[in-house]
Amino acid sequence: MNGAGALTTGTNSKIPEILAPGGSIEAIETAMANGADAVYLGVGDLNARARAANLQEPQLPGIVEYVHSFGSRVYVTLNIPVTRFNVRETARTMAACHESGVDALIVRDPVIMKTAAALLPDLPIHASTQAGVHSVETARRMADLGCRRVILARECSRNDISAIRMALPDLELEVFVFGAMCFGVSGLCMMGHSVSGRSGNHGACCQSCRLPYFDTGDEPVGYVFSMKDLDLVPHIPELVALGVAAFKIEGRLKTPSWVGCVTKWLRTALDRPVPGLDSAEYAQFDRDVSVLFSRRRTDGFFVGDTDAETVLSTDNQTHAGLDVGQFRSRQDHTGHWISFKTPVDINVRDGLLVKVGDDSAPGGCQWLPVGVRALVDGRGRSAIRIAAGHDVSVPLPEELRRSTVLAVHIHSADSVRARYRKVERPVPGAVVEGTVPWPEFLAAEVRADSITASMRLGRFKAAASCPIESSAARAEGISADHLKKYFGMARTTITPGLFVNPSSLKAARRELIAGFMAARDEEIRQRAEALATRISSMSDQFQPSDDELIDRGNGTVAISRVTGMKEGCVYTSGGDGFRIEPGADSTRIRKA
C-alpha cells in the first residue's frame, strides 16, 4: 500500500507539512497531541466554515502561543469575499492575526491579498482552495498577487500538480489528502445559495449537494450530487516525490477524535525513510477512521478518473460506519441477535448501523441506528467489552425482531474515539475563556526612580515605563537573580546599590504589563483602520454577489469536474430545481 516504487532519484527530500483542521479548541489539542505541523482555523465568521467552533479574537494570541509551544504553526482562514458590509471586520481580523503572531492568512479575495502584501508584508499569504487554483495560469496569478503558497483545488490531478510544480518551483503547493470533497469547482458553487440563500462562498453552505433529489415525476433518484470523500493516503510517496509542501486534512466540522486519527496516521506515514503506510497499517487506519466517520472514498480526481460512477456516492451522503463483513442473524425466544467477528474493540453503549429490508422504503431497505445495550462473547458469556478479532453477539431492539438484516456497520466505538482523544497538554483554561496571555519580558532596566521594560506578544513589541520607590541598599542591592521572579529571563540593567521592596516590584510588573496591553490594543486599532481604508479604496474590485454571478451565468449555479452524469432536471423536496448539463470534461448545473 505504501507504493515505495514511486520514490525515485530526484525525489524532493523535504517532508511535507501535516496541516490539520482546528474547527474547535478540542480539535486543536488533538491535532497537536498527534503530531500536526500546523493547524488552520477561523476567527469569527469571515471564513468558509462559519458553522465551526471558530475562535473569538481574545482567544487567538493564547492559541497561537499554545501551538507555537509544540513547534507548530497557525494559519487563519479569511477566505470569503470582502464586501462593503464586512470591510471593518475583515480589517480588524487581519490586524489581530498580525499582532497575535499568526503564521499565515488563508485568503481567496485578491483585494485582501493586495492589501496584505502592501501593509502586512511580514504576514505570509496562502491562496485558499476557494480561489480555484487548478492550473499553471491560476497558480501564477496567485503568485503574482504575493501568495507564498497555493492550496490546490481538490479536483486537481497528479498531472495538474506536476505541471504547476514544474512551472513555478518556488511556489509552495498544498494538497488536500483526506476528507470531504465539494461537487462544484472550488469557490464557484452557488447551489446552496440557490436553494436556501446560504452561500458556501460566504461560509454558510447548506450542503445542497448532500440532499436527496427527485425527478420530474416526483420519484426519488438518490443523492445525485453527493461526492465520495477524498483519500490520497495510498499516494503519499508520489505526493512527496511531486514536491508537495503540505498535506491538508479537510474537516473543520469533524470530531476531535477523527482529526487525531487522520493526523496520527499521516505522521506515521511521513516519519520514516520511505514515506507511506504498509498494507496492514492502512487497514488499521481504514478501520479506525471508518468508525469515527466514513463515507465511501475515492482518489478519482487525482488519478484522472472523473466519471460519476467513480467519484459520486448517490446512495449515501453521511456517516456509514465500518462494515463488519460477514455476520449471522438468528431469532429465538430470547429475541433477534446478530453475531460477527468485531473488527475493533466494542463496548456496551457503542452504536451499530443496521441495514434492514423494507419494501416501503426507497431501494427496498433502510439503515437504522442500534445502540449496543448488551454483549455476548463467542462462549455465550455476557461482557462489557470485547476485543477486536473476537466473536460477539448483539441483541436487536424488539421492533426489529422480524426484520431481515442485510448488513451491519459499527457506527461508533468509544475505544476508538478515546484512543485518538488523549491529550497530555490541553489548552489552558484562561485561553479558552478568552484571557489574553501576558507578554514575554525581553529587557528590563531598573533605576532609582523608575523601571523600563520591553515586551513581546506575538509580533507586537513595545516598551513601557513606570515609577518606583527605592532606597540605598544596606548590603548587596537587588541583582539579576532577584529580578527573574518578576521579569523572567529578560536582559536586566540595574543601577548598583538599590533596594526595592518586592511589593513595589510586583506592582511595577502589573503596571508595565497594563501599559503594554494598552499599546497593543491601540496598535491593532490603528492597523485595522489603515487596512480598512486600503480595502475600501478598492471597492470597485469587490467580487460580485452570488445572485449577480448566477444572472451573469444565465442561471449557472455550479460547474463540476464530474463527468458522465445523466442529463435532466432534478428537484429537492422543497421544489428547488436544477438542470444537469453534461459536457465532455465537466458538468454545468443551472437553475431549472
- The stretch 578-587 carries a mean pLDDT of 96
- The stretch 272-279 carries a mean pLDDT of 96
What's the CATH code of the domain at 385?
2.40.30.10
**Whether residue 490 sits in one domain with residue 412:** no
pLDDT in the model for residue 474: 86
Residue 220 domain-assigned (yes or no): no
pLDDT in the model for residue 9: 29
d(CA 193, CA 398): 43
81 and 201 Cβ atoms separated by less than 8 Å: yes
What mean pLDDT, rounded, does the chain reach?
93
Residue 64 domain-assigned (yes or no): yes
Decide if pLDDT at 102 tops 60. yes
d(CA 201, CA 369): 34
- The stretch 215-219 carries a mean pLDDT of 92
CA dihedral 463, 467, 468, 472 (to 10 degrees): 100
**Whether residue 465 sits in one domain with residue 412:** no
d(CA 371, CA 366): 16
d(CA 74, CA 422): 21
**Whether residue 240 sits in one domain with residue 379:** no
Helix (H, G, I), strand (E, B) or coil at 337: strand
**Whether residue 375 sits in one domain with residue 513:** no
What's the CATH code of the domain at 36?
3.20.20.70
**Whether residue 479 sits in one domain with residue 401:** no
pLDDT in the model for residue 10: 34
**Whether residue 444 sits in one domain with residue 411:** no
Residue 551 domain-assigned (yes or no): no
pLDDT in the model for residue 476: 85
Domain boundary among 365, 392, 419: 419
Backbone φ and ψ of 205, nearest 5° = -55, 135
Q: What is the pLDDT of residues 300-322, one digit of tens each?
A: 999 999 999 999 999 878 899 99
Residue 188 domain-assigned (yes or no): no
**Whether residue 518 sits in one domain with residue 451:** yes
Q: What is the pLDDT of residues 422-450, one digit of tens each?
A: 999 999 999 999 999 999 999 999 999 99
**Whether residue 453 sits in one domain with residue 349:** no
- The stretch 154-172 carries a mean pLDDT of 97
Residue 315 domain-assigned (yes or no): no
Residue identified by cell 484562561 is 430
d(CA 133, CA 142): 8
Residue 238 domain-assigned (yes or no): yes
Angle at 269 between CA 268 and CA 275, to 5 degrees: 140
d(CA 520, CA 515): 9
pLDDT in the model for residue 2: 40
**Whether residue 170 sits in one domain with residue 99:** yes
pLDDT class of 7 with cuts at 50, 70, 90: very low
**Whether residue 379 sits in one domain with residue 257:** no
CA-nearest of 482, 584, 572, 556 to 189 is 556
Q: What is the pLDDT of residues 103-112, one digit of tens each?
A: 999 999 999 9
Angle at 142 between CA 136 and CA 148, to 5 degrees: 105
**Residue 380 belongs to domain spanning:** 324-419
pLDDT class of 51 with cuts at 50, 70, 90: low
Which stretches within 178-307 are classed as H helix?
A: 191-196, 236-241, 256-270, 279-292, 300-303
Decide if pLDDT at 141 tops 90. yes
Residue identified by cell 442500534 is 370
Residue 201 domain-assigned (yes or no): no
**Whether residue 369 sits in one domain with residue 453:** no
pLDDT in the model for residue 5: 32
Report the domain count for the chain.
3
How many CB atoms neighbour CB 397 within 10 A? 14
**Whether residue 523 sits in one domain with residue 478:** yes
Residues 6+ positions from 126 with CB-CB distance below 8 Å: 75, 104, 105, 106, 107, 147, 148, 149, 150, 151, 172, 174
Residue 575 domain-assigned (yes or no): no
